[in-house]
Structure 1
Amino acid sequence: MPSPSPVIVANVRRLREMRGYSLSALAERAAISKSTLSQLEAGKGNPTIETLWTLANTLGVAFSELLAEGEDGMTVSEPGGGDVQLMMRGQQSPRVEVYFMRLAPGEMKISRAHPRGVREHVMVIEGTLRVGALDALAVCRPGEGHEFAADVEHRYEALLDTTRLVASIVYPYDEVAR
């Protein structure tokens, strides 16, 4: 099993300690097991993308802050075939992050709510994607996009084929902890 990037390991530990959380406290707040968090901070295991998103939300930071401060291009892969690559991380407010995502055929990602006011913009490059807030899902094909509130539980689902897309996440003013 591949181990997490040393950058992710260092960032999770640094952010947890900056907030004064013990391993147990962060695990409880994030609703993940303490052993999962302990394995991650030890540089072992292979955290899922959902686990990393959950940690970022719980720590009150943008997902890109776990990948690396100012480092574009880092990719987080899933054993099932999907991956997320940070393409750009804006430094202005509101903060905008741009990701390239690949989902394996039939792969579905359910994302917990991001901080209040966060919006996502998705543009499909290849495949067919069902995406959006759970009560307002849209189906998008190549060249089509969808914008939705991401401060509620939402879903990305590749229908049939491998799906490639670009997702932009827009954090509202003063909502992302620095």
Structure 2
Amino acid sequence: MREFIPVRIAVLTVSDTRGLAEDRSGDTLVQRIEDAGHILAARHILPDERDQIAGQLREWIADPGIDVILSTGGTGLTGRDVTVEAHRDVYEKEIEAFGTVFTLVSMKKIGTSAVQSRACGGVAGGTYLFALPGSPGACKDAWDEILSLQLDYRHMPCNFVEILPRLEEHRRRK
């Protein structure tokens, strides 16, 4: 059996109204990250401002001490929901199936209301990025049903951790 490999995960909460004391979604992710044996590499809260969000994502992508970025909030349909656009501003590749699988998981819990989420995932600079809805329940679902498995090197037949070292292989070719 394979041994567990911890990854370094940053958590970004996107909210115009929440501070650290009210950040239940961020708290949910941090607790699950730590309970799983991963490392909380950074945590920050930003307002729903596309340029600020993309800037923070770029800063963390450039940090070799961060393997995965999880954002929570700003994935809905309102005018202030710009997290998905900020993520897509920095993606090199989108993980289209993440949104699809998240919708399937959400359907079991909230039925057709799942269509209102634009949860997404991607890769940039050798870092995984996932934009999750801003509710603690959605963060639990994304972590428990998808991310806890894909961020576990022991998960078979495949997982994100085993290909992490290869995300930047195209840059090493001459």
- The TM-score, its normalising length taken from structure 1, stands at 0.33
Of structures 1 and 2, the one scoring higher in RCO (CA 8 A, sep 6+) is: 2
Which protein has the bigger strand share? 1
More helix by share: 2
Q: TM-score, normalised by structure 2?
A: 0.33
